[in-house]
Amino acid sequence: MLALSAVGLIWYWVWSCGEEQRTIRNLPTNDRRAFFERTLKNLTTVCAGSEAVHLEDFCWKEAELVLLFPECDDSCQDLARIRLPRATR
């Protein structure tokens, strides 16, 4: 019974880790694109300036978020990874 509970908890944890990505992928295409473009714009404007040092947490979360979009190509991924802490790159 204990082993079955452990397997169930592990399965739930793995499933819930992908919940944000599933939610983004299930958005209507136009909404998802607009959300992606806004998040990417935040990375290229707000997070690119000298003030970004004061917005580390915000920029980190925006970088993690933009990577969940299927629209995030290689250049988008490179831009996002610059904003991630070394341990999560």
pLDDT in tens, 18-50: 788 888 989 999 999 999 999 999 999 988 876
Contact 43, 63 (CB under 8 A): yes
**Contacts of residue 36, Cβ cutoff 8 Å, sequence gap at least 6:** 66, 69, 71, 72
Domain coverage including residue 73:
2-88
Contact 41, 76 (CB under 8 A): no
Contact 83, 62 (CB under 8 A): yes
**Number of structural domains the chain divides into:** 1
Tokens of 83: 């904003």
pTM over 0.75: no
Q: Where are the alpha helices (DSSP H) in 45-73?
A: 56-66
